[in-house]
Amino acid sequence: MFSVTSRLLWRPRRLPGRWMLVGSSPCKHYKQEKLPPVQEPIPPASVTEIRQYLKMQKIPFHDGYSCIHVPSIFVADKQQLRHTYSLFIDKTTGQFICTATLVEGNWQDFQANVELQDKGLTLSDRHSINEQNNQTGEDAKHIWDRALPLWQLLDEQETKDVKARFGISSVSNTTLKHFGVRFLRTGQALVFPWFSPSGTSLKGLKLLRVEHQGDRVHHVENMLPRPNAYHNLFGLPLISRRDTEVVLTGRELDALVLHQVTGLPTLALPRGISCLPPALLPYLEQFKRITLWLGEDLRSWESAKHFARKLNPKRCYLVRPSDQQLRPLEAFSSGMNLTKILRSALPAGHKSIISFCQLREEVYGELVNVDQVAGVKWARFPELSKLLKGHRKGELTVFTGPTGSGKTTFISEYALDLCMQGVNTLWGSFEIHNVRLAKIMLTQFAMEKLDEQLEKYDEWADKFEDLPLHFMTFYGQQNIKTVIDTMLHAVYMYDITHVVIDNLQFMMGQEQLSVDRLALQDYIVGTFRKFATDNNCHVTLIIHPRKEDEERELQTSSIFGSAKASQEADNVLILQDRKLTTGPGRRYLQVSKNRFDGDVGIFPLEFSKTCLTFSNPVKSKTRVKKVKEDTEEPVQKSVAAAGEVPKKQRSQKQSSKSTNLP
């Protein structure tokens, strides 16, 4: 079983919890009495087990795209029971939801309720499984009541100004009324409602503000209540049972434009390109064609392909991003034909063998978007970004360093940097407990010594909760199959794109294979390599080095085991903990392998004991030694000072994403 949010990151506040719009007037707050509980992680259930149980109980069913459809056991009208296939069971996890009554739970809950039904218990006896999840947060109600319909503000000029500010001057008042968009004067935010599928009750809100950063316009989102505690597809009540085609977008503004221009059913995902929660899949079962138009960059394209695997690629079509196919709102503003773009979407499913003709446009897209192909850049480690160019999905990074040199501390900041930029991260710490690891990361996040400033703890903990960060609850020796199963579960549930394993040696004690230790390590490394490739997920694997002369620098050959680890790895990073002849300092990070473009080199690290970081700004300029593998000619570049972490405004009461996995 899984445990929910870590006690370190969620504890009773000393002061009443409050929610306030970022940038709004601080004169009035709304007290948050109670938030819906975090959705329980789902124990695995195989589709074979589900089918066998349904047959044994003589419950009729049929296979859908991603769910098994059965008559709802929660529908009171027995005459319609066998004709109302409104209960959906996820084929991967066993999670179920009845779209008629909004009762939901895991596979064990379903089995328990079938037994209760056999005992003759009434619907009211069983309907409390998700009773709390169907309650709307008090804050959401207050804000919704205070917000004004955007299509009928008292001043017509105000309506025009608001539309212009958000870039939706071309969106008609009829469309705004159809989707129920409102405007909150306090905070100057658009309010997008999430209603129940029947449209009878408010389930939550998303608030959108605009910030200007120079010439760029930046959108800031706030969600109420927790986004994973209710079903939040914007536009869901407007879907008819007879609709067979839908367009999924990453923004509510795009959904407005697409529906207005094409007339097609259009839905907006609650968290854009970052996640498609499995709890939303049942609401998409009725559609025979799903077109995903999530954005204009390569990260949107990768997310669309990933979501298509959840939805069943046979019915999914993807709008490929390019300079000629922008986001729907920008494309419409530029005079493009949205209907034509949708009809030219590419099928997500294809045969195992394809020709260059089918890859031609995708290759061109990578050439045009070189920076995006390189991956997510490190904000705290610009020197690492210069060498590796970025953090890319589907790669395997091997990291090593002497015992006691600070490997875990460095990798925690290395992963935190990416997580702060939206990279969904799963930490597997088998050497230190999660509480200690979270304490280290929280200190690095705040860049302050919090044990001396406890009054700031809640403020930083609230912000830390908003990160897409999850932890495995394993500690000590673990079986590789159990770890891989947990990683697969996390990829499916939370769309994890970066997994950190600390460290490989803890995978080797539980295996009962009749092979020697080196062959066992090769098997485990190969398993992580395959996982990274198959799931398009980056894996960072920490491996202890061999015991060598302490006076010598570590090399790629110093990694414990055979050469397979360094051969399979796309990147090899070495934390050097001794003085080098190439420059001053005690600790250096060495990039000794870079499969992406071959750049390797070293740069110094300066450790701050106060905030446990390696990314403090360097006082004086030093030199970075950079070597191109194909030429082996050193090219020296000055080391850029590591800047402070970009400040991002966040709502204090967004969803808690820091979750423990088994």
Do residues 245 and 254 make contact, with C-beta atoms less than 8 angstroms apart? Answer: no
pLDDT value of position 484: 92
Q: Measured between alpha carbons, how far is 603 from 586 in angstroms, rounded to an integer?
A: 11
pLDDT value of position 510: 55
- The residues of the chain scoring below 70 in pLDDT are 1-44, 76-83, 119-137, 154, 226-231, 322-325, 350-355, 357-359, 361, 509-515, 548-551, 561-562, 578-585, 616-662
| Unique residue bearing structure tokens 């006896």 | 125
Give Cα 646 distance to the centre of its chain: 20
Element housing 470 (H / E): strand 469-472
- Please report, for the chain, the start and end positions of each structural domain, with discontinuous segments joined by +: 47-119, 134-230, 233-350+358-374, 382-604
Helix (H, G, I), strand (E, B), or coil: what is residue 597? coil
pLDDT value of position 442: 94
Q: Which residues are CB-contacts of 189 (< 8 A; sequence separation ≥ 6)?
A: 21, 183, 207, 208, 209, 222
Token pair recorded at residue 470: 């999850």
Q: Measured between alpha carbons, how far is 499 from 537 in angstroms, rounded to an integer?
A: 7
The residue among 226, 82, 170, 234 whose CA lies nearest residue 651 is: 226
Do residues 284 and 246 make contact, with C-beta atoms less than 8 angstroms apart? Answer: yes
| Unique residue bearing structure tokens 């405004």 | 649
Do residues 401 and 576 make contact, with C-beta atoms less than 8 angstroms apart? Answer: yes
pTM of the model: 0.67
Give Cα 237 distance to the centre of its chain: 26
- Confirm or reject CATH 3.40.640.10 for domain 233-350+358-374, answering yes or no: no
pLDDT value of position 264: 94
CA atoms within 13 A on the CB side of 599: 19
pLDDT value of position 244: 93
Q: Measured between alpha carbons, how far is 482 from 502 in angstroms, rounded to an integer?
A: 15
- Residue 632: phi and psi, rounded to 5, are 55, 30
382-604, what's its fold? Rossmann fold (3.40.50)
- Residue 272: phi and psi, rounded to 5, are 60, -130
CA atoms within 13 A on the CB side of 119: 9
Helix (H, G, I), strand (E, B), or coil: what is residue 184? strand
Do residues 573 and 391 make contact, with C-beta atoms less than 8 angstroms apart? Answer: no
Which burial class, exposed, middle or buried, applies to 212 when counting CB atoms under 10 A from its CB (0-12, 13-18, 19+)?
Answer: exposed
pLDDT value of position 192: 93
Fold equal for 233-350+358-374 and 382-604: no
Q: Measured between alpha carbons, how far is 346 from 323 in angstroms, rounded to an integer?
A: 17
Do residues 611 and 626 make contact, with C-beta atoms less than 8 angstroms apart? Answer: no
pLDDT value of position 352: 54
Do residues 110 and 129 make contact, with C-beta atoms less than 8 angstroms apart? Answer: no
